[in-house]
Structure 1
């Protein structure tokens, strides 16, 4: 795996370099936002994953994330931030981050997050190969094909789903009306144990709902105090 770590604290980079080497990963380091954008622009498809600190000299982390997404919309991105406000974390996810880790963090935790995202990215790449197989999730009004990465609500496509949004939708739709807690969804979709990151799920559900609503009625429902469920039983086709 080739990792680009954008981090202005060199001691953090040096610490993580030991863990990256232990995993057999190649890492490139950038210490300010402007340098990171220039480096990434040289080959936007050279890296398998990016870790991005939000508090950077020069160009800020949010701006760097936006420029990275302009050049490559699919490269997995983990934001590292000392900020603990919900608005910053949700904004980071909405800017295109796949996950975030709040500083100070355990190197082992970051490695686990990287591995989880890498597994999902690998599965998504395999499943994106063309196929003529039938839908593997079918409900009264909804169809989903994991191989073509397509989802339809009453025949209308749910467009521009990110890998995480697709897996989240599939997980919920596989068991209509079953309520999943945020902890369960973190384990099933993100592949790591619950660390108190409920806002990761909430932010992805928010974006997923926005895309579903462009295709038809809302089928992701909130069960207050518990979590979320997929239910299209009340959908009336147009």
Structure 2
């Protein structure tokens, strides 16, 4: 794990607390140092302060996301809501506000690593999949395009694409909201369940004939959602 922060007290806190919980942490102060470490030893997660002296944590987050899929937790001041939003939009996976509780940071790291492993499992499952077909629809996995039964391209946001992909990779199975949150890589929100419910609602409006009376994505009360149609998998 890698921590990037120009405050020595924060670096020491992260290194010692996480070290006491069996995490191996390398702490650095600049993007250059971060890149040197990553070149020698790829990290499984990066904790990144957005307020670094002369460097922009936001730009570092952007560069990291463009070049790697490593999970990113950003650190921001409580008042810097705009920076948190921008950091998440640039591809960070979660955030913690300063001053922060080491226990909260540890909990968020563990949760993010669990979600990352779930996502990798689905990625492995669809690695050789070219497209999925269902009810006349076709999702081209490699081109990330959804074609309707009438041949039109239906635009999908990134989270909507990942959510539909999770359903298509596991049809006829009830998927919990927590699992769907992880697989769709939605950013943490105050109410996880509502985040998934909103995203499912958006997806239904795009693929269901009657979104208020869905026939494709069914709600399993108290358990999650189930994708009902038969799914054809095209490989190669």
TM-score, normalisation: structure 2: 0.61
What is aligned with 1:211?
A: none
1:47 aligns with 2:43: yes
Q: Which runs of 5+ in 1 are unaligned?
A: 175-183, 209-218, 222-228
1:67 aligns with 2:63: yes
Q: How far, CA to CA, are the matches of 2:71 and 2:89 in structure 1?
A: 14
Q: How far, CA to CA, are the matches of 1:125 and 1:169 in structure 2?
A: 16
Residues 64-105 of structure 1: per-residue CA shift (max 9 Å, x gap): 112222331x11011111153432222111111011111122
Structure 2 SS opposite 1:230:
helix
Larger radius of gyration: 2
1:189 aligns with 2:186: no
Query: How many pairs were matched up?
Result: 192
Question: Structure 2 vs 1, CA of residues 109 and 41 (structure 1 numbering), >3 Å: closer, same or farther?
Answer: closer
Compare 49-58 and 18-27 and name the one that shifted more: 18-27
Show the 5 A alignment for 1:85-96: 85-96=80-91
Question: Structure 2 vs 1, CA of residues 83 and 39 (structure 1 numbering), >3 Å: closer, same or farther?
Answer: farther
Deviation at residue 230 of structure 1 after TM alignment: 3.0
What is aligned with 1:24?
A: 22
TM-score, normalisation: structure 1: 0.61
1:230 aligns with 2:208: no
Q: How far, CA to CA, are the matches of 1:96 and 1:141 in structure 2?
A: 29
Show the 5 A alignment for 1:79-228: 79-129=74-124, 130=127, 141=137, 152-154=146-148, 161=158, 168-169=163-164, 189=181, 197=190, 220-221=201-202
Q: Which runs of 5+ in 2 are unaligned?
A: 171-175, 211-236
On the 8 A contact 2:2/2:26 being kept in 1, the answer is yes
